[in-house]
């Protein structure tokens, strides 16, 4: 239902105008679409890049806790995040924690989803955004970071949720929202009608301009260069040079042997108290790991 109402304007892929969202609820029998602006914002399902044209982000809304059912203290029955399968395909093909933009672009262009055909030609602005991520990381794109998740959202806007910066949203069930703030999660009819009555803002088409910077802004208005990695890796530390590179295997081997010796001594102490006492009396012995 949401995809059928998708905003046809520039940058509207994977988004529904809030006015259409509420109109579907009030006038077209789609009773589910009633969440207030405040609640949608907390869910992370509201695109506010244009204050005059608020839009609901389809993937964030569908995968939000407001759409889970049969919730209890232990589990909730929620929608499957379709982006997981897409990312899993890239992980399998790349078989590494990061990749070059060229690798990712070739795989993503060939990859179909439930709403996107495979073997497509990716637009230049999407290529440019991935190049920006690679430049941020010295030429490679980490697959498990916020910036690549953001790129996946724009590459597959109906399947991949937009990854907000940590702490910017606080998704809750409607019940928890109401209990916490003593407020209704649903917009009242007056609020809905006010948004429906707002004039549709004029949106220029991306084809009306030849400037790539302007197209980037129009097509990916929520884009930010704030990175959040699942695992932090200090890139310079990974590239040992000269003597350090040749000694690295020996250092790792010594550390591994030291760990084995330490674990063996601990095991012996726990098994043979007498031997442990004898070892403890040898105060002149020191072990370095």
What pLDDT, in 10s, does the model give residues 133-175?
999 999 999 999 999 999 999 999 999 999 999 999 999 999 9
Lowest-confidence segment of 4-13, 52-61, 250-259 by average pLDDT: 250-259
For 186-217, the pLDDT digits (tens) are 999 999 999 999 988 877 666 666 678 888 98
* Higher per-residue confidence, 230 vs 129: 129
Q: How far apart are CA 99 and CA 103, in angstroms?
A: 6
Give the number of other Cβ atoms within 10 Å of residue 185's Cβ: 21
The token pair at 35 is: 């969440």
For residue 69, how far is the Cα from the chain centroid? 23
Strand partners, 183: none
For 65-124, the pLDDT digits (tens) are 999 887 777 888 999 999 999 999 999 999 999 999 999 999 999 999 999 999 999 999
- Contacts with 13 (C-beta within 8 Å, 6 or more apart), sequence order: 6, 154, 157, 158
């Amino acid at each position: 239902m949401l995809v059928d109402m998708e905003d046809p304007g520039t940058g509207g892929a994977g988004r529904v105008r809030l006015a259409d969202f509420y109109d579907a609820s009030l006038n077209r029998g789609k009773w589910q679409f009633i969440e207030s602006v405040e609640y949608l914002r907390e869910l992370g399902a509201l695109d506010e890049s244009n204050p005059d044209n608020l839009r609901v982000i389809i993937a964030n809304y569908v995968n939000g806790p407001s759409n889970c059912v049969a919730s209890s203290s232990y589990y909730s029955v929620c929608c499957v995040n379709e982006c997981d399968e897409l990312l899993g395909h890239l992980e399998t093909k790349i078989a590494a924690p990061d990749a070059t933009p060229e690798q990712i672009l070739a795989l993503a262009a060939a990859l179909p989803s439930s709403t996107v055909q495979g073997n497509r030609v990716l637009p230049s602005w999407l290529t440019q955004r991935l190049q920006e991520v690679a430049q941020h990381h010295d030429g490679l794109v980490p697959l498990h970071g916020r910036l690549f998740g953001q790129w996946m959202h724009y590459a597959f806007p109906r399947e991949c949720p937009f990854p907000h910066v940590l702490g910017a949203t606080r998704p809750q069930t409607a019940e928890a929202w109401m209990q916490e703030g003593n407020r209704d999660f649903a917009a009242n009819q007056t609020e809905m009608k006010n948004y429906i009555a707002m004039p549709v803002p004029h949106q220029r088409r991306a084809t009306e301009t030849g400037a790539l910077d302007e197209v980037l802004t129009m097509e990916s208005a929520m884009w930010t260069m704030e990175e959040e990695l699942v695992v932090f890796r200090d890139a310079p530390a990974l590239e040992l040079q000269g003597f350090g590179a040749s000694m690295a295997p020996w250092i790792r081997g010594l550390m591994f042997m030291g760990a084995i010796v330490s674990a063996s001594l601990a095991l012996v102490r726990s098994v043979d108290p007498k031997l442990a006492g004898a070892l403890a009396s040898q105060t002149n012995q020191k072990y370095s790991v």
